[in-house]
Amino acid sequence: MALFASLVVFLISNFVPGDPVLAQLGDILASDPVVVAQWRAKWGLDLPLWERYGIFLRGLLHGDLGQSIATRRPVLEDIVQFAPATVELATISFVMALALGIPLGIAAAIWRDSWIDALARVLSLVGVSAPTFWLAFIMLAIFYGWLGWAPGPGRLDPIAFPPEGPSGFFLFDTAWAGDWEGFADTLAHLILPAIVLAAATLGLITRTTRAAMLDCLQQDYVRVARAKGLRERVVILRHALRNALVPVVTLGGLAYANLLTGAVMTETIFAWPGLGRYTFRSAAALDFPAIMGITLVVSATYLLVNLLVDLSYAVLDPRVRR
Amino acid sequence: MTAILDIRDLVTVFHTDRGPVRAVDGVSFTIARGETLGIVGESGSGKSVTAQSIMRLLEPPARIEAGQVLFEGRDVLAMSQSELADWRGASAAMVFQDSLTGLNPVLRILPQVSEHVVAHGRMAPPAARRHGIDLLRRMGVASPERAAAAFPHQFSGGMRQRVMLAIGMANEPSLLIADEPTTALDVTIQAQILDLMAGLNEKFGTAIMLISHDLGVIGSLCRRIAVMYAGEVVETGPTAEVLADPRHPYAWALAHAVPRLDTPVTARLPSIEGMPPDPLAMPRGCRFAPRCAHRIARCDAEHPPLTEIAPGRSVRCWVTMDGRQLPPPSLPAAAAPPRATEAEAPLLEASDLIKHFPLPRKSLFAKPELVHAVNGVSLQVARGESLGIVGESGCGTSTLARLITRLHAPNAGNIRFQGQDITALGGEALRALRPRLQMVFQDPFASLNPRMRVGQILAEPLRVHGHAAPEERVAALLDMVGLNPAWAARFPHEFSGGQRQRISIARALALDPALIVADEPVSALDVNVQAQVLNLMLELRARLGLAFLFIAHDLAVVRAFCDRVAVMYLGRFVEEAPAAELFATPAHPYTVALLSAVPEPGQRRIVLGGEPPSSLRLPQGCAFRARCPVARPICAEPPPLVEIAPGRRVLCHAPGSLQKPR
């Protein structure tokens, strides 16, 4: 699957009307045919298409994703450097979306057509339909520019040094080192982009939880549970919720994969040094090796998350087990 | 006797977008301690809504608008939520129809059986677990310790219904409300569950309110009966009296519309035409008047009250409220079945059919397991004859139907139709066969494409086979099955279940077939609608000279429709005989048990233990041996096919050794 995706991207990026030569060398150097030919030979761009793909595959088998044309560093190193920032942001967003979306969806289903249901519906509509760039600018304008409650773009204060730490997750690393000032600074910088990134996921999770819960509350086994004389709290938590979680898990898994790989817009606006911004820069520079590397990581992430979702079905629903 | 449940003038209204629907409209009855009351009526008559109103399980848009529900003198409708939770499941319990959706799929059996024992403070969790396992054992669940840890989907329907009963009985309530508890089950399993409920009533004095559309089920368990129609009780009294001498015309029709095993076969079944009234626009007078054959002028003008006509008997009817009786139905007896002349070759002849299905492999290297669906069936159907095939679910009847119609190809054996060998037909030859051999399916909702108009559904086979003028033929077909030809432009969802089954029949008739294979064509229908559809099929058969292969689990229906009957068990015919003889003197022990399991008032049952063995591993010797009340050592040998009389074949070492109980 990941290989197939890499082939598709390889072909598409090679047929894109655009030349990395121009993007890298600039107008003056690119007008000199000797320099261009040298440069092409250096990066292997003079070889036939299939041979270039072969080289890529051979490197892949040795754990080598090639060298980035733009950063002049191995792509793998770039990815390892940028990934923690993205994972940290995506995970915080995901936890926020779940922690708010699931209870809100449940409450909306239980008190259907009440004010809380209306709130849930408005919130999920806005979350799903508000464009990310718009939401990001509005949040920045209000909470950074106007109220000054939140710090500006970036992962840390511009004058602060990134924490020394084993993981690259600043929250973890600062806490590990006992640097609570750094921890607070990291958290403050995380909040706005996390909210912006979480908005769409929150909308989807709320809506799915509400629909699944409404469906489960109509089921006969819920009626049986009520006929047993169980308290309503037990009926909902023990009998309805676990059945309702199955579709939420499916969606949650896909949403998490989406957050990990689709934060291009948010990361660019918030100057977040993550994979999303790396993707944007590589694409703008027609940096083929980097694009290929990112594609592989993205498809591998989706495969892994889908596997985890499938495995969690078996935990949630005994009918799936064999 | 003190009343445990006393319902007075209960009114439950559904506030729909199109207006209020009074689903339960002034229902009153009482149930005494230890009594059994049956409530009967067609779907939509308000039976289930009454039950759920009593338990206060209804949710908006349904609302209880008037009346009282008194349980041991306490007003259930006035209880607070917490009082209600204390009362439900402890003093009054309910068992629902569908045990598949009624059990929580993600929880193990034991917590579902015992959680409310703990919740009501009856026992500590460890004691409740032991109590739960004990309950499962008492309800006849095989190896209860193992079952306790299983999940619902690992159980058969009969076992799940036992679990539902265990849930209901966990706190030994004084009232058990059972809503169609056996409707989805096979007759032998149904007999086991009814026995169980009768035992609970006898041993613990549990009062039972049993809701069913099946008069036989109610008659075999309940002392008293209430008949409901359009949200009202129209007749109540002792079951035996109401069934023998119904005084309300609707009760009368219900009692006679059900084909029974102990009355002579008639050429048609009594049925009432028309449909129940629109609940949004109830008639001003008697609600049954538009369909009633005994109607007088007063019926259209005034709404009749429920009037006592004898001690313990009341009826809601202007005609019979003065104590008058309704006349018994007078219908011509059925003509003797046409005997196939020996000279004529049979229309359909199948010999030694075998069909196996491989299950998905458990692992890469495991041998795939085989489901032995059909294991050597031979049959013949003469022109114009109808052969009934009877069997419990999973015994291979549907697979046999699909083999005969060549939707499946058999693994072995031979099928000849109109003299042509169709066993291995394919492609164009198979397509040419289709018009002559048609099928009617069980589920009238699933077998019609919801996105096609009825006219398109009927014209499709005509077009496929190059019929010249489909439109005229469609109109003629609709007329033939008793539907208005102008309805061809409607979609299937605009029709009731019975009307849809008529459309299915019209579709099968479209190409003038010689044989129709009907797989449970009436089992999804209400009794009265079932009688209407059966009448239609009887009439078409006589008029068009059609032959039928008629598959059903309901023996009385088969008796009313078929000339010959074959009884199927685990993929084989165990007995085959002319209908009259089979029902009078069944020879195979399984046939005898099956016949006695049909719930009929006053009949003694032979209750078979256990369930049919798995078709994954066929037993050695006689397949019925493990459940047979008269099994003997020789039954470990494969049984011989004995012809005990001309046309009567029995697969048994000792045919006739089990007698029907009297």
Q: Could you tell me which residues of chain A have a Cβ less than 8 Å from any Cβ in chain B?
A: 219-221, 223-232, 234, 238-239, 242-243, 316-319, 322
B413, part of any domain: yes
Tokens of B84: 């209600």
The answer to the question of residue B339 being in a domain is no
> pLDDT tens digits, residue range A162-203?
777 667 777 777 777 777 777 777 877 888 888 888 888 899
> B662 and B558, same structural domain?
no
Does B605 reside within a domain? yes
Tally the domains of chain B: 3
User: What local confidence, expressed as pLDDT, does residue A63 receive?
Assistant: 73
- Three state DSSP letters for B342-371: CCCCCCEEEEEEEEEEECCCCCCCCCCCEE
Structure tokens at B287: 């609600």
pLDDT of A22 reads 66
* Distance in angstroms (rounded) separating the CA atoms of residues B234 and B25: 11
Q: How far apart (Å, rounded) are the C-alpha atoms in residues B385 and B341?
A: 12
Interface test with B, best of A110, A117, A222, A224 (most B CBs within 10 A): A224
Selected residue of B104, B160, B172 to mutate for chain A interface (largest A Cβ count, 10 A): B104
Answer yes or no: do B630 and B488 share one domain: no
Instruction: Of A62-66, B405-409, B427-431, B610-614, give the lowest mean pLDDT range.
Output: B610-614
**What single DSSP character describes residue B285?**
S
Look up the CATH number of the domain holding residue B293: 3.40.50.300
List, in sequence order, every beta strand (DSSP E) within B405-456: 412-417, 420-421, 437-440
Q: Cβ B89–A322 below 8 Å, yes or no? A: no
Per residue in B133-172, pLDDT (tens digit) is: 888 887 777 778 888 888 888 777 778 888 888 888 888 8
Interface contact B153-A319, CB threshold 8 A: yes
Q: Is a pLDDT exceeding 80 seen at residue B201?
A: yes
Token pair listed for B440 = 């009617």
Give me the pLDDT at residue B389, please. 92
Given this model, what pLDDT does residue A209 score? Answer: 92
For every residue of B323-345, DSSP letters joined together read SPPPPPP--PBPPPPPPPPTTSP
Question: CA-based Rg of chain B, rounded to a whole angstrom?
Answer: 26
Q: Collect all residues of chain A within an 8 Å Cβ-Cβ radius of residue B116.
A: 228-230
Contact A229 B57 (CB under 8 A): no
In sequence order, the β-bridge partners of residue B344 are none
Domain, as residue range, for B508: 348-562
Q: Answer whether A228 sits within 8 Å of B88, measured CB to CB.
A: yes
List the structure tokens of B456: 């398109």
Contact between A229 and B107 using a beta-carbon 8 Å cutoff = no
Q: Which residues 6+ apart lie within 8 Å of B161 measured at CB?
A: B95, B99, B181, B182, B184, B185, B189, B193
Q: What is the pLDDT of residues A89-111, one digit of tens each?
A: 888 899 999 999 999 999 998 88
Assigned token pair, A304: 């892994």
Mean per-residue pLDDT over chain A, rounded: 81
Residues A259, A90 contacting (CB under 8 angstroms): yes
The single-letter DSSP state of residue B94 is E
Residues of A in contact with B15 (CB under 8 A): none
Q: What is the pLDDT of residues B83-132, one digit of tens each?
A: 888 888 888 899 887 777 888 888 888 888 888 888 888 888 888 888 88
The single-letter code of the amino acid at A319 is: R
Question: How many angstroms away from the CA of A319 is the closest CA of chain B?
Answer: 7
Share of chain B above pLDDT 70, in %: 95
Contact between B104 and A322 using a beta-carbon 8 Å cutoff: no
Specify whether the CB–CB gap between A94 and A259 falls below 8 A: yes
Give the type of residue at B183: T
Report, as an integer, the average pLDDT of B214-225.
85
The per-residue pLDDT for range A227-245, each reduced to its tens digit, is 888 888 888 888 888 888 8
**Do B322 and B372 have their domain in common?**
no
β B224-229/B36-40 pair status: parallel
Q: Is residue B315 located within the same domain as residue B378?
A: no
Three-state secondary structure call for residue B28:
strand
ipTM of the complex: 0.75
Are B138 and B199 in contact by the 8 Å Cβ rule? The answer is no
Pick from B504, B520, B516: which is nearest to B383 by CA?
Answer: B516
What is the C-alpha to C-alpha distance for residues B118 and B126, in angstroms, rounded to an integer? 9
User: Same domain, yes or no, for B457 and B549?
Assistant: yes
The residue type found at B57 is: L
Measured at the CA of B238, the angle between CA B236 and CA B242, to 5 degrees, comes to 65
Kindly tell me if the per-residue pLDDT of B236 is higher than 60. yes
B484, part of any domain: yes
Asked if residue B618 belongs to a domain, the reply is: yes
CA atoms within 13 A on the CB side of A269: 19
Write out chain A residues lying below 8 Å of B181, CB-based.
none
- Is residue B393 domain-shared with residue B533, that is, in the same domain? yes
- Longest C-alpha distance within chain A, in Å? 86
Chain B residues with CB under 8 Å of A316 CB are 106
Q: What is the rounded CA–CA span in Å between residue A104 and residue A202?
A: 10
Three-state DSSP state, B91: coil
CA distance A104 to chain B (A): 22
Q: What is the pLDDT of residue A206?
A: 92
Q: What's the topology of domain A79-316?
A: MetI-like fold (1.10.3720)
With beta carbons less than 8 A apart as the criterion, state whether B106 and B114 touch. no
Between residues B364 and B488, the one the model is more confident about: B488
Cis (ω within 30 of 0) for the bond into A84?
A: no
Amino acid B525: pLDDT: 77
Higher-confidence residue of B100 and B19: namely B19
Q: How confident is the model at residue B566 (pLDDT cuts 50, 70, 90)?
A: very high
What is the Cα–Cα distance from A271 to A281, expressed in whole angstroms? 12
Which pLDDT belongs to residue B606? Answer: 73
Are residues B535 and B393 part of one domain?
Answer: yes
- More confident of the two residues B611 and B555: B555
Query: Is A149 in contact with A143 (CB distance < 8 Å)?
Result: yes
Which chain A positions have a beta carbon within 8 Å of B106's beta carbon? Answer: 242-243, 316-318
Q: Which structure tokens are listed for B169?
A: 């009985």
Inspect the interface and report whether the beta carbons of A228 and B98 lie closer than 8 Å.
no
Higher pLDDT, A160 or B23: B23
- The answer to whether A187 touches A163, Cβ cutoff 8 Å, is no
Is B57's CB within 8 Å of A231's CB?
no
Please indicate whether, in this complex, the C-beta atoms of A318 and B105 are within 8 angstroms of each other: yes
Contacts of A219 in chain B (CB under 8 A): 101
pLDDT, mean of residues B218-225: 87
Q: Tell whether B172 is covered by a domain.
A: no
Q: What is the mean pLDDT of residues B178-206?
A: 82
Instruction: Label residue B39 by pLDDT band (50, 70, 90).
Output: very high
pLDDT band, very low/low/confident/very high, at B342 (cuts 50, 70, 90): low
Nearest to B102 among A221, A242, A319 (CB): A221
- Does residue B571 contact residue B615 with C-beta atoms inside 8 Å? yes
What was the pLDDT predicted at A6?
Answer: 72
Of residues A314, A214, A198, the one with CA closest to residue A255: A198
Contact A316 B106 (CB under 8 A): yes
| Least reliable range by pLDDT among B9-13, B171-175, B187-191, B341-345 | B341-345
- Write down the mean pLDDT value for chain B: 83
Tell me the chain B residues in contact with residue A317 when contact means C-beta distances shorter than 8 Å. Answer: 105-106
Contact in structure between B527 and B213 (CB atoms under 8 Å): yes
Considering only CB atoms, which chain B residues are within 8 Å of A234? 115, 119
Judge whether B532 lies within some domain. yes
* pLDDT at residue B337 greater than cutoff 60: no
List CB contacts (< 8 A) between B93 and chain A. 227-228
Q: What are the residue ranges spanned by the domains of chain A? A: 2-61, 79-316
Spell out which residues of chain B touch residue A315, defining contact as CB-CB under 8 Å. none
pLDDT value of residue A189: 81
Whole-number pLDDT of residue B462: 86
Q: What is the pLDDT of residue A23?
A: 65
pLDDT in tens, B55-91: 888 888 888 888 888 888 888 888 888 888 888 888 8
For residues A96 and A108, what is the distance between their CA atoms, to the nearest angstrom?
18
- Burial-class residue B71 by CB neighbours within 10 Å (0-12, 13-18, 19+): buried
For residue B116, give the nearest of A230, A243, A317 by CB distance: A230
- Identify the sign of the CA torsion B414, B415, B419, B420: negative
Strand partners, B179: B211
The phi, psi pair for B348, rounded to 5°, reads: -125, 135
Distance from CA of A107 to the nearest CA of B (A): 17
B53 with B23, same domain: the answer is yes
Using 50, 70 and 90 to split pLDDT, how confident is the model at B620?
confident
- Say if CB B530 and CB B518 are below 8 A apart: no
Is B225 within 8 Å of B500 (Cβ atoms)? no
Cα Rg of chain A (Å, integer):
24
Pick among B80, B103, B106 to test the A interface (most A CBs inside 10 A): B106
Alpha carbon distance A216, A223 (integer Å): 10
Mean of pLDDT values over A239-262: 85
Closest chain A residue by Cα to residue B166: A228
- Cβ atoms of B90 and B171 closer than 8 Å: yes
List of chain B residues whose C-beta atoms are within 8 Å of the C-beta of residue A248? none
Q: What is the pLDDT of residue B158?
A: 75
**Prior bond of A17 cis (ω within 30°):** no
d(CA B322, CA B305): 13
pLDDT at A48: 76
Tokens of B70: 């008194």
Q: Would the CB atoms of A224 and B153 count as touching at under 8 Å?
A: no
Q: What is the arithmetic mean of pLDDT over B40-55? A: 86
Q: Does position A293 have pLDDT exceeding 60, yes or no? A: yes
Structure-token match 């233990």, residue found = B609
- The encoded tokens of residue B543 equal 């008029």
**CB-CB contact of B135 with B111 (8 Å):** no
Both tokens assigned to B180? 């169609």
DSSP output for B113-150: HHHHHHHTTSS-HHHHHHHHHHHHHHTT-SSHHHHHTS
Q: CA of A144: how far to CAs of A136, A189, B56, in Å?
A: 11, 11, 54
Assigned domain for B162 exists: no
The two three-digit tokens of residue A187, written as one number: 């958290």
pLDDT at A322: 56
d(CA B311, CA B543): 48
pLDDT of residue B209: 92
Tokens matching residue B412: 């072995």
Question: SS3 for A95-146, per residue?
Answer: HHHHHHHHHHHHHHHHCCCCHHHHHHHHHHHHHHHCCHHHHHHHHHHHHHHH
B529 and B608 belong to one structural domain: no
pLDDT for residue B226: 92
Residue B465: the pLDDT is 83
B363 lies in the same domain as B476? yes
Separation in Å, CA of A234 to nearest CA in chain B: 10
Which helix H or strand E contains B177, and what residues bound it? Answer: strand B175-179
| The predicted structure's pLDDT at residue A2 | 63
Q: At B315, which helix (H) or strand (E)?
A: strand B313-315
Q: What's residue A20's pLDDT?
A: 67
Alpha carbon of A305: minimum distance to chain B alpha carbons (Å): 23
